[in-house]
A and B are shown apart, each in its own frame.
Chain A
Amino acid sequence: MAALGPTSSRRASLWLVALVVAGQARAGTLEVAVADGEGKPIERVAVHATAIGGSPLPARAATATMDQHDERFVPHVLVVQTGTSVLFPNNDDVSHHVYSFSPAKSFELGLYKGQVHPPIAFDEPGVVVLGCNIHDGMLGYILVVDTPYFALTNEEGIAVVEGVPDGAYDAEVWTPRVRQSDLPAAQRLTIKGSVTTAEVRITGRLQPDHDHGSSSLSWKRY
């Protein structure tokens, strides 16, 4: 027994390596192109894919950051998995008072600068609308989803979600720029290695991107 020990242990290690390699091979990349009714790409749209069937993935004890800079929330839209703790550092030299009254997470971080408040855990899926009680023009969103597979669209309107294990998924898109009833229904997709592509059209009336007004003007008063 004692003589066999090292051999079997080596064999087990080899199996493990084989499993890991196989596991990597059985994951793919999901690329979703999001455009408006006229086919123009839309930036900063959240794309998330939820596995169909199987046990729900455990909540992830990850951390994410919603920065405040130049009296804006950065990023404007943050996507996190359920269970993620989010830090709200204020990198402005004016105080902010961050709050949300959204059902998914209601909280407030009293007047502060820098990083004085502990992170906030987002335990329920949904949309959390952020505001600052001092600067009325500040608006940000945290989308909490029950999956680790998500991304935001880039300037070309494409969201790239990497490392999605093979299987069937419901892919959904989300943006604050349309009425929520105008968001397209989930699209069923099958991931099978390499790259799976999908296209989504958001046909509802698209509102201007909140932070993209003329920087020549001051929109913050009183």
Chain B
Amino acid sequence: MEAVLNVRALLALLAFAAAGGAAAQSDRHELYVDASAVFLSASTDLAAWPEGGFSKLRHTDDGLTGLRVFAEYHGRITPTLRAHVIADYVDDASPGVDITEAYIDWRPIPRSHNRQQWRFGMIYPPLSLENSERGWQSPFTYSYSAINTWLGEEIRPVGAEWSLRRRLEALGNSHELRAFAAGFYGNDPAATLLFYRGWSLHDRQTRLNDRLDIPPIPFTANAQRLEPFTETDRRPGVYGGVEWRYARRVLVQWARYDNRAEPYSFSEGQWGWRTAFNHLAVQVSLPAELGLVAQWMEGATDWVILAQPNGTLHPLSRLVEDELESRFVMLTRKFGVAQRLAVRYDTFSTDRPGSAPALHSDDGHAWTVSYRFEPTGRWSGGAEWLRIDSRRDILPMFYALPPAHSERQLRLQLSFRLGGASSR
């Protein structure tokens, strides 16, 4: 089965590469393709989460896990209007080629220090300071932080985003302010996977049509398979934030997201989860060429326990509120132009205050150490060591597993890029 999928990945790669080679030089069309071979060595007692397990790792098998391929397309419609489509191929959960982002970007030409931008479509809110590369990849580590992993898994609004940047004064003043706001549909079941499986650190982004397996928690599963971008109640969600930059030295961003889902709403096999969070992100240039990136998220979700996957409620169904919280701090440094080292520390938790047993509690922390080498613009490689220590009370309750787990993963990756530079 895996061999068949790998052949499909290879064919997809070749098709993308041919198209990329043909289109990369064009002004009107830009296509970027990235293909990676990934080797993993994992140590865990739990089953991988894409298979419906509780592991915080994407893969629990050792060896070559196969090829990753993603493609990013930019098409010029007018000089200020561009279309963007980002698709990838994965061989786990819902395998195949699918879209991770698709949107129209409108940037009217500035006539003053104010710069406006509109994005329409399926987009990531501009929260992650890690995922700045093409395909929403991170230049720092292969596995994203817990926060950004979750954004990649369950947060993908479909809507309209407006943002305004203002350079306070171009001459003699390096301060820049930005505000953004968006209204969106979809994304109503957001946080379902987070509370069933717990936090996670990996690089799998959920795609438009993905259906994800949820760990089989007895009596509580309210979806057979999760489709996190479903609209259940036709109530639009919102997000917005403000950002301050000082030269290329400091960036501070505060944002709030609220999907405004009605927790008793049900559509297409999915229940609404009212999920809202505050998010703070900081990036600082430190002396000695060190860079610091930190993000913090805290929020809550209101959802109905014992809601059935068929849309009915159990007599004991009731609304509960669970809290989520995670933060990470990362130090990174480049050595020469081709090498980069990054060290990250994550903490994360989900909790229902005052509730015992805490079926959905998850508490842990993770260390990630990553080395990247990019000798040419085409080839890059690297190694990453990841250790996640966590505790889930549900594991001894239903599965005769110890509550605490220490999962480790060593990852080696070789990547080949076609069609252009690495930034978005």
Query: Which A residues fall within an 8 A CB radius of B?
Result: 71, 92-95, 97, 99, 101, 108, 110-113, 116, 127, 129, 131, 133-134, 136-137, 139, 176-180, 182, 204-205, 207-222
Contacts and interface: CB of A to CB of B under 8 A. Distances in A.
A111 B82 CA distance: 10
Given A116-B27, A131-B110, A204-B172, A216 B423 contact: no
Contact of B285 (A99, A204, A214): A214
A1 B417 CA distance: 79
B420 interface: yes
Contact of A213 (B27, B247, B332): B247
B109 A108 contact: yes
Interface in B113-166: 115, 117, 126, 129, 132-133, 139, 163, 165
A36 B183 CA distance: 48
Contacts of A112: 27
Nearest to B167: A139
A93 B332 CA distance: 26
Given A133-B107, A137-B248, 14 more contacts: A71-B423, A93-B419, A95-B76, A97-B109, A108-B79, A108-B109, A111-B27, A111-B82, A179-B171, A213-B248, A214-B248, A214-B291, A218-B133, A218-B423
Interface centre among A71, A99, A116, A218 (most CB of B within 10 A): A218
B391 interface: no
Contacts of B163: 222
A176 B171 contact: yes
A208 B27 contact: no
Contacts of B25: 113
A217 B110 contact: no
A207 B172 contact: yes
B344 to A, nearest CB: 13
B126 A221 contact: yes
A127 B171 contact: yes
A211 B248 contact: yes
A111 B126 contact: no
A209 B79 CA distance: 30
Interface residues of B, number: 50
B314 interface: no
Nearest to A90: B27
Contact of A216 (B24, B129, B290): B290
Contact of A219 (B107, B171, B248, B420): B248
A215 B24 contact: no
A159 to B, nearest CB: 19
Given A127-B171, A222-B126, A216 B333 contact: yes
B376 interface: no
Given A99-B109, A113-B27, A129-B170, A94 B421 contact: yes
A207 B174 contact: yes
Interface string B258-281: 000000000000000000000000
Nearest to A94: B421
A208 B174 contact: yes
18 contacts: A94-B423, A95-B30, A95-B74, A97-B107, A113-B27, A116-B27, A133-B110, A134-B107, A136-B115, A176-B172, A180-B171, A208-B174, A214-B289, A215-B289, A216-B340, A217-B248, A217-B332, A220-B132
B139 A94 contact: no
A116 B24 CA distance: 16
A101 B110 contact: yes
A216 B332 contact: yes
Contacts of B117: 222
B170 to A, nearest CB: 5
Contact of B334 (A113, A177, A216): A216
B251 interface: yes
B24 A208 contact: no
B128 to A, nearest CB: 9
A110 B172 contact: no
Given A111-B27, A213-B285, A216-B340, A207 B290 contact: no
Nearest to B139: A218
Contacts of A212: 248
A222 B286 CA distance: 23
A208 B80 contact: no
Contacts of B169: 179
B85 interface: no
B420 A210 contact: no
B424 interface: yes
B247 A218 contact: no
B112 interface: yes
A4 to B, nearest CB: 64
B111 A101 contact: yes
B249 interface: yes
B173 A216 contact: no
B5 interface: no
A179 B285 CA distance: 23
Interface centre among B107, B171, B173, B419 (most CB of A within 10 A): B171
B83 interface: no
A177 B172 contact: yes
Nearest to A102: B170
